[in-house]
């Protein structure tokens, strides 16, 4: 069985027909299809590799910024700033008591319902300092370590949040790097007042809200696309039924 194929002649710019066997034509079409599939798959593989390399570079940059932030916030932490103020002393004492007896200076369990008459001794900071006071003792270093660790751990969530809001990884790296060397954040991370813990909790909460919103919007778009595809399929089938009539 032969099939005539119409093509243009390169020399005379005319048209002529040449008969080719049907198996040869089918083989050529299959070969073109396979070549197209290979090209598309290769492009997808290159795109996936490029995206994965960018993600690894972004994660490595945030990791380096976190390490820098950790070093800056823990170096000479027990002596700089010098001395222990009243808030740090009260946090250290209550954390040491909770580690020994389970109650704070007011006799309440874990200090969760203690009266805060003087404004000192935040429950979150006190509970975070319990393992450090149990290992190191009620010292300046033990009461400042939770704030320093929280300050260093804030770098990565802030970078991811900036990436999610702007869509640019460079913005995320810049935000995390600037926070790592920020003098304001260094100051609140090297004292035992719990400000860095509150900032970390706030950024993680905002990041969670942004991520949930993004996933819900993506799911909504997917459901709308599926419904549109179903409507178009029903419309095409109805048109075919009418044309047959």
Q: Is the pLDDT of residue 6 over 70?
A: no
Sign of CA dihedral 100, 103, 104, 107: negative
**pTM over cut 0.85:** no
d(CA 31, CA 11): 27
What's residue 10's pLDDT?
43
3-state SS assignment for residue 82: coil
What are the tens digits of pLDDT across the range 215-230?
877 666 666 665 655 5
Q: Is the pLDDT of residue 35 over 80?
A: no
Which stretch of DSSP H or E encloses residue 15? strand 15-21
Across the range 27-48, mean pLDDT stands at: 63
Judge if the upstream peptide bond of residue 81 is cis by omega within 30 degrees of 0: yes
What's residue 239's pLDDT?
45
Across the range 169-174, mean pLDDT stands at: 92
């Amino acid at each position: 069985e032969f099939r005539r194929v119409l093509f243009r002649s390169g020399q005379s710019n005319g048209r002529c027909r040449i008969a080719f066997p049907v198996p040869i034509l089918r083989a050529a079409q299959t070969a073109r299809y396979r070549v197209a599939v290979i090209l598309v798959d290769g492009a997808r593989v290159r795109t996936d590799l490029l995206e994965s390399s960018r993600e690894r570079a972004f994660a490595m940059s945030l990791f380096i910024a976190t390490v820098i932030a950790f070093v800056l916030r823990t170096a000479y932490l027990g002596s700089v700033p010098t001395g222990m103020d009243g808030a740090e002393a009260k946090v250290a004492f209550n954390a040491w008591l909770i580690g020994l007896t389970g109650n704070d200076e007011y006799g309440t369990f874990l200090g969760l319902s203690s009266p805060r008459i003087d404004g000192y001794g935040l429950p979150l900071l006190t509970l975070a300092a319990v393992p450090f006071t149990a290992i190191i003792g009620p010292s300046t270093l033990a009461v400042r370590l939770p704030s320093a660790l929280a300050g260093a751990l804030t770098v990565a969530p802030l970078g991811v949040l900036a990436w999610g809001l702007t869509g640019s990884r460079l913005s995320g790296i810049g935000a995390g790097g600037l926070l790592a060397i920020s003098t304001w954040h260094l100051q609140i991370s090297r004292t035992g007042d719990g400000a860095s813990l509150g900032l970390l909790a706030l950024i993680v909460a905002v990041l969670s809200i942004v991520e949930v919103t993004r996933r819900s919007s993506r799911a909504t778009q997917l459901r709308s696309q599926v419904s549109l595809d179903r409507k178009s399929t029903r419309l095409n089938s109805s048109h075919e039924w009418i044309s047959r009539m």
